[in-house]
């Protein structure tokens, strides 16, 4: 099949994707392709992407360091802002060290390939982010996927005490908060499984850090787990922190090993120093302004109550990620288009991002939304055609 034919096939199956051109900063109200839209789709959960203090920090550092780092961290691209940010992030998540990566995708590829390889196994939640899945594939280890949030299935894959151990378990990997369902991994149970297998445990808390746990320190802090129980923590800066980049936090030995072995760290240009400076400012706001998390939780509760009263088909999530299930791809697209016609931007999420038959609207909230915004969204959702009753909601947590 030619590329043109493949693209036509994607379009026919309602899977063709196109980019939107935005003419304003990230905010609940944005200019998108000439229209003013109320958006419910950003990962800027705390509303920091356009915060004046964050913007000023970026501009000030750019005046000193320019807009590019010029080289990798190991050549001459590692500035004092990078160093300060790594130290501040390590303090924030209460771990000995942190190491910056250019993206969360590169962080997961780097850490997994550095710690696992041929002759070993990696166990992944079936709904893990693509970067974790791709990291496992590229490592050369055998990847095995357990049913979503199903620790009994994980235990089955770990095997009985007398099982074949010719391929030891090198690593168990899971999202902390799942990006499309908004649910939380059973991390304490994963800790027990990893300890039993003598394996690394990696938690990618991209959607938890800044939002959940005491002081916004994330999913692990909400469970009271430390670096001895969860030795590898991956976090991103492009979501609740409102900037760009990612980091891995853990022991001194782990971070030094990644500096020596992680190819996606070694062979790429460092983040611009100005981005690191902006992230430092954002981290200060995350720690200081608890009202942002309180506002966010109030908006989530308002939406969940209203959605329940309307009988909307939603997944059980207490996070800013609130999925509204459509099922078929065409239905999700139709709902998204109807909302956009009313001035609301809620893109449809389709396979392969989500499993077949589970296309959805992924509604996400920011601390900068107002209660009136939530009411407007609920009013629009109430008018969508053919939204099924709660009794028809599937249980993707048990899907294989």
Domains within the chain, CATH numbers bracketed: 11-40+290-398 (3.90.1150.10), 52-288 (3.40.640.10)
Phi/psi of residue 258, nearest 5 degrees: -65, -40
Residue 168: is its pLDDT beyond 80?
Answer: yes
Tokens of 309: 């009263």
Find the radius of gyration of the CA atoms of the chain: 21
Tell me whether residue 239 is one of the annotated catalytic residues: yes
pLDDT of residue 159: 83
Tokens of 170: 């090198």
Residue 164: is its pLDDT beyond 70?
Answer: no
pLDDT of residue 382: 95
pLDDT of residue 163: 54
Q: How far is residue 349 CA from its own chain's centroid?
A: 15
The model's pTM is 0.93
CA–CA separation, 329 vs 339, rounded Å? 16
Contacts of 363 (CB under 8 A, 6+ apart): 40, 41, 303, 321, 322, 323, 324, 346, 377
CA–CA separation, 147 vs 153, rounded Å? 6
Residue 161: is its pLDDT beyond 70?
Answer: no
Tokens of 26: 């990230």
CA–CA separation, 283 vs 216, rounded Å? 10
CA distances in angstroms from 105 to 51, 80, 94, 279, listed in the order given: 25, 24, 23, 18
**Sign of the alpha-carbon torsion through 292, 296, 297, 299:** positive
Q: Which band of pLDDT confidence, cut at 50, 70 and 90, is reported for residue 1?
A: confident
pLDDT of residue 391: 34
Tell me whether residue 131 is one of the annotated catalytic residues: no
Across the chain, what does the average pLDDT equal?
93
> Worst-scoring range by mean pLDDT, 13-22, 78-87, 113-122?
13-22
Please name every residue paired with 146 in a beta bridge, in sequence order, or none if there are none. Answer: 125
pLDDT of residue 396: 39
Tell me whether residue 398 is one of the annotated catalytic residues: no
pLDDT of residue 196: 92
User: Of the residues 51, 129, 207, 369, which is catalytic?
Assistant: 207
Express each pLDDT in 286-339 by its tens digit.
Answer: 999 999 999 999 999 999 999 999 999 889 899 999 999 999 999 999 999 999
Residue 394: is its pLDDT beyond 80?
Answer: no
Tokens of 54: 């964050």
Q: DSSP labels for 285-298?
A: HHHH-THHHHHHHH
User: Of the residues 113, 179, 317, 364, which is catalytic?
Assistant: 179
From the list 242, 207, 251, the residue with the least C-alpha distance to 98 is 251
Contacts of 152 (CB under 8 A, 6+ apart): none
pLDDT of residue 167: 85
pLDDT of residue 160: 58
User: Of the residues 82, 148, 239, 369, which is catalytic?
Assistant: 239
Measured N-to-C along each axis, helices 371-382 and 329-341 cross at an angle, to the nearest 10 degrees, of: 120
Question: CA torsion angle for 61, 66, 67, 72 (degrees, to 10)?
Answer: -100
Express each pLDDT in 254-278 by its tens digit.
Answer: 999 999 999 999 999 999 999 999 9
């Amino acid at each position: 099949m030619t590329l043109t034919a493949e693209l036509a096939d994607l379009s026919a199956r309602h899977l063709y994707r196109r980019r939107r051109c935005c003419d304003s900063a990230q905010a609940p109200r944005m200019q998108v392709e000439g229209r003013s839209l109320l958006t419910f789709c950003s990962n800027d959960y705390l509303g920091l992407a356009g915060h004046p203090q964050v913007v000023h920090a970026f501009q000030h550092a750019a005046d000193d360091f320019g807009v590019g780092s010029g080289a990798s961290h190991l050549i001459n691209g590692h500035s004092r802002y990078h160093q300060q940010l790594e130290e501040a992030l390590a303090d924030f998540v209460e771990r000995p060290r942190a190491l910056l990566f250019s993206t969360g995708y590169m962080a997961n590829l780097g850490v997994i390939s550095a710690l696992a390889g041929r002759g070993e196994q990696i166990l992944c939640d079936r709904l893990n982010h693509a970067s974790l899945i791709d990291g496992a594939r590229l490592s050369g280890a055998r990847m095995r996927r357990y049913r979503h949030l199903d620790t009994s299935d994980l235990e089955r894959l770990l095997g009985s005490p007398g099982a074949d151990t010719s391929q030891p378990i090198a690593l168990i990997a899971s999202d902390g908060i799942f990006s499309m369902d908004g649910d939380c991994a059973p991390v304490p149970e994963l800790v027990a499984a990893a300890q039993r297998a003598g394996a690394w445990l990696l938690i990618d808390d991209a959607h938890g850090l800044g939002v959940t746990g005491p002081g916004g320190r994330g999913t692990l802090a909400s469970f009271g787990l430390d670096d001895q129980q969860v030795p590898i923590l991956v976090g991103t800066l492009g979501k609740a922190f409102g900037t760009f980049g990612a980091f891995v936090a853990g022991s001194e030995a782990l971070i030094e090993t990644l500096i020596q072995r992680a190819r996606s760290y070694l062979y790429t240009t460092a983040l611009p120093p100005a981005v690191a400076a902006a992230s430092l400012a954002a981290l200060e706001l995350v720690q200081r302004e608890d009202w942002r998390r309180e506002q966010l939780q109030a908006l989530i509760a308002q939406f969940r109550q209203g959605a329940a009263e309307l009988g909307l088909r939603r997944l059980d999530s207490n996070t800013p990620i609130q999925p509204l299930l459509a099922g078929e791809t065409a239905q999700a697209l139709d709902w998204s288009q109807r909302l956009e016609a009313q001035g609301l931007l809620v893109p449809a999420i389709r396979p392969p991002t989500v499993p077949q038959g589970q296309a959805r609207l992924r509604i996400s909230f920011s601390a900068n939304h107002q209660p009136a915004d939530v009411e407007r969204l609920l009013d629009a959702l109430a008018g969508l055609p053919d939204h099924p009753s709660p009794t028809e909601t599937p249980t993707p947590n048990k899907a294989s």
